[in-house]
Structure 1
Amino acid sequence: MSLSNVLRHLVAISLMTLATLMSPLSVAAEDVPERSEIADQYKWDLADLYVDASAWEADKAKLIALLPGIADFRGKLGRDGNSLLAAIEAIQAIETIVANLYVYAGLKNFEDTRISDNAARFSEAQGLYSEFQQALAFFSPELLSIPEATLDHYVASTPGLALYEHYLDETARMRAYTLSEVEEKLLAMASDPLSKFDSVFTAIDSSDLQFGRIVDEAGVEVELTTSRYGAFLHSTDRRVRKAAWTQLFEGYQTLNHTLAANYEGHVKSRVFFARARGFDSRLQQATYTNAIP
């Protein structure tokens, strides 16, 4: 699963949890409160990743310094089991930093998409993820060039390598859809600019679109937002549920052509990556990559 998908799942789970915990009456404040006015129990705590933006910047600098070192493993994966293990462990350590930078920046951006510093940091994280993938372009093609019997011997005879056996098996399973180093690098380079369709929709959905106001169960006129929408759909009053659904999608309708064009670009970008790897369709890529029969 890509980091962008991981982030989307984290956000979706968080929003669904809030929708479950919060009744329509609990969101009945007439206007949407600022984040600083919301109780801490309803906020995610990102301190376990980074205590502040300065700590994020420090890890970013560390990553930038480490990325060139990935090339040191190029041409050495098949030398012996210890060389392969050292490469995997080093790359996994770097990937952990990439993931932390990406997830923190993404979640921080979703806290308030109006804050340009957060949006800039997330865009930077997306670029760093692309750079990491570019640096790693040699890895899968080179790993797949090692004879299966040799790889099995390395796993059996190298202490610690068996821990990554599933990872090695998954790489082998993707053999038919793994390209050359040059082609893998080109796809990695394309991943950042072609991910911006998601960013465009997020900006429109979270910052630019206004959905007006509806009358809640208590007869109070309240502001409708995408975050409140889920709670209103759980209302026991059918009128509230209908009003929320109708008004939300009427809001989207005001940008119908813009959203349709952006979505078309998003779909075509996904189809591009699927076809570039030789999949018959985007659906096949999504299911096969996730080992879904």
Structure 2
Amino acid sequence: MNKSKTLPKRSEVPAEYKWRLEDMYASNSDWEKDLEKVKQLAEEISRKKGQLGQSGEQLLETLRLQDELLKTLDQVYVYARMRRDEDNANSTYQALTDRATSLSTQVYGAISYIQPEILQIPTDQLEKWMGEVQGLDHYRILLDEITRFKPHTLSAEEEAILANVSEVASAPSKIFGMLNNADLKFPMIRDENGEEVELTKGRYVQFMESKDRRVRREAFEALYATYGKHRNTIAASLTSSVKTDVFYSRTRRYPSALYAALFADNVDLSVYDNLIATIHEHLPLMHRYIALRKKMLAVDELHMYDLYVPIVPEVEMNIPYDQAVATIKEALKPLGEDYGKVLEEGFSNGWIDVYENEGKTSGAYSWGAYTSHPYVLMNYQDNVNNMFTLAHEMGHALHSYYSHKEQPYTYADYKIFVAEVASTLNEALLMNHLLKTTTDKKQRMYLINYYLEQFRGTVFRQTMFAEFEKIIHAKTEQEEPLTADSLSEIYRELNVAYHGPDMVVDQEVDMEWARIPHFYRNFYVYKYATGFSAATSLAKQILEEGQQTVDRYLQFLKSGSSDYPLELLKKAGVDMTSPEPIREALAVFEEMLAEMEKLTAE
């Protein structure tokens, strides 16, 4: 596609580079028909309230109606949002999105009685009905999942109280969000040209990658000095969030806040503990990488503000979109002929919105509805990072394709715990292909460093975050007070342990906990590290073992939520209750690290 200095209007983008949302609705009038259908189904399901415990037939009829309602709502909502994402200034699709959002709120209000009513049905009665009423056994997994929460579900009156305080309980996150995104003002610093520039969170990332060490240091010191001025306020916000997690876990009779968070995915505590323990076992590898970074930057002391500057001089790797597509198709050939056919279908038949245009939503994602093929939004630029992003999003897209094709709507969606496996595995296979085919030494070093940084940021760093979360929740549960000082001390000790003797752990970074929004979404970040490890382990098995592993992996992609995440991964060949997948992933890290050490010594 021809590039110009100004972004094209949506109408100016060639059709072959735009997704084909007409595959969902040929016209907006068709969308309007489904909108009305959703309203009618919502009214119909509302009339079922109070009847679920009367008979198995009533329960089956309501669950089928719920499937039809939500399946249609999904398509209505997804279409409106993706149309708006094409051009956020388009008032027609702004209006459609608003209407779809409002309708979603109404629908979820209309079906809110279903789960509480199911929980009121005795378990032996449910079991009896499933044996007697043809078709009800289809919902066994769903009903088992609902009843699994019965020991942690309160009376209707108590549940109503918890529902009413939910907005108050979300206050710490909202307060932090307003402070972090609206009220915090950062000072001016001098850029590489010596000119005064205002520091922002967006510019901070760029400054930390600057070749000028003074710029990195000034940005680092200015950022944390700003957070430091609000240290007690942010500490109060974070500790209140932790206390909220503990309150809910105790109120719902869970052994701990960590147990409560993992219970939703039916994940054993050993998975979380194994991750932290195995990473600690391999911290010498991280320390080796830090030592290599210090050597390659040729500095007497490596500081925390030296962590993000590239250690390999920039390499010109211009990769147009069509070249990226060809490379990805070649790289993913180990996944077999069927996967390759679906991948070709996605690249050729209106799944992908490729280039940036005026008003288009930024970033990248994969999305879609059960009744349509998946879609991928890109804002493609001709570089390595965007090629990896495309491979990543197509991993999500094919996971959705297989899951939707093979599973009924009830079990078609997959859990967040496994969501990053398919996308990250594609990246691992792409990296393997590039390293096998790249002969230029500088390009090879650039690619290896790219991969090493993924490990550092996704496995080591996210595990450090996960360990911090575990410590501060445990202290709260043991009635130990958390203050700005104690939070900073805990965070400092973790940084020293994770980065090793070659890193000067600057005092400023003790405040980093104050700027991590993920800490307000308790025990979430560990999934980044487990997902990356599982994908790396599976990619290694696919490359070494071939078809047998490929078959298991494709079955995993087809499984949706027909079983719990850990069980699905076990069937694929990865047991996350064991430390082995993490060790296998870190063996890849060690292999890459050793090659980089060798290349720098030449």
Q: TM-score, with normalisation over the residues of structure 2?
A: 0.30
Deviation per CA, 1:140-186: give whole Å up to 9, x if none.
34313434454346556667655544332221221211112221121
Q: Structure 1, unaligned stretches of length 5 or more?
A: 1-36, 41-47, 49-61, 112-124
Greater RCO structure (CA 8 Å; 6+ sep) = 1
Contact 1:137 1:181 (8 Å CA) reproduced = no
Structure 1 residues 173 and 249, CA gap change in structure 2 (3 angstroms): same
Equivalent position to 1:221, from 181, 188, 196: 196
Rounded to whole Å, the distance in 2 between the matches of 1:243 and 1:94 is 55
Instruction: Please give the secondary structure, in 2, of the residue aligned with 1:279.
Output: coil
Q: Is the counterpart of residue 241 in structure 1 residue 252 in structure 2?
A: no
Within-5 A mapping of 1:1-293: 72-89=47-64, 138-148=113-123, 150-152=125-127, 154-155=129-130, 161=136, 164-293=139-268
Rounded to whole Å, the distance in 1 between the matches of 2:154 and 2:123 is 18
Rounded to whole Å, the distance in 1 between the matches of 2:218 and 2:50 is 62
- Bigger radius of gyration, 1 or 2? 2
Report the AA paired with residue 115 of structure 2.
S
1:278 offset after TM fit, Å? 0.9
Q: TM-score, with normalisation over the residues of structure 1?
A: 0.56
Deviation per CA, 1:88-117: give whole Å up to 9, x if none.
35556777869x69xx8xxx9xx9xxxxxx
Rounded to whole Å, the distance in 2 between the matches of 1:210 and 1:149 is 60
1:7 match: none
Rounded to whole Å, the distance in 2 between the matches of 1:134 and 1:157 is 31
Rounded to whole Å, the distance in 2 between the matches of 1:71 and 1:198 is 33
Report the AA paired with residue 261 of structure 1.
A
Aligned length: 226
Kindly report the root-mean-square deviation, in angstroms, between the aligned alpha carbons of the 2 structures.
4.7
Contact 1:141 1:180 (8 Å CA) reproduced = no
Structure 1 residues 229 and 267, CA gap change in structure 2 (3 angstroms): same
1:246 offset after TM fit, Å? 2.4
1:23 match: none
Contact 1:141 1:179 (8 Å CA) reproduced = no
Q: Percent identity?
A: 33
1:238 offset after TM fit, Å? 4.1
1:15 match: none
Instruction: Please give the secondary structure, in 2, of the residue aligned with 1:78.
Output: coil
Rounded to whole Å, the distance in 2 between the matches of 1:278 and 1:228 is 45
Deviation per CA, 1:226-246: give whole Å up to 9, x if none.
233334334444443333332
Report the AA paired with residue 148 of structure 2.
R
Structure 1 residues 249 and 290, CA gap change in structure 2 (3 angstroms): farther
Instruction: Please give the secondary structure, in 2, of the residue aligned with 1:176.
Output: helix
Rounded to whole Å, the distance in 2 between the matches of 1:158 and 1:232 is 64
Structure 1 residues 135 and 195, CA gap change in structure 2 (3 angstroms): farther
Rounded to whole Å, the distance in 2 between the matches of 1:161 and 1:227 is 52
Which moves more between the two structures, 274-283 or 162-171? Answer: 162-171
Deviation per CA, 1:183-218: give whole Å up to 9, x if none.
112111111222122222111111111012233345
Q: Structure 2, unaligned stretches of length 5 or more?
A: 1-6, 11-20, 22-36, 89-100, 269-602
Report the AA paired with residue 151 of structure 1.
L
Structure 1 residues 208 and 192, CA gap change in structure 2 (3 angstroms): same
Report the AA paired with residue 267 of structure 1.
V
Structure 1 residues 221 and 154, CA gap change in structure 2 (3 angstroms): farther
Contact 1:77 1:87 (8 Å CA) reproduced = yes
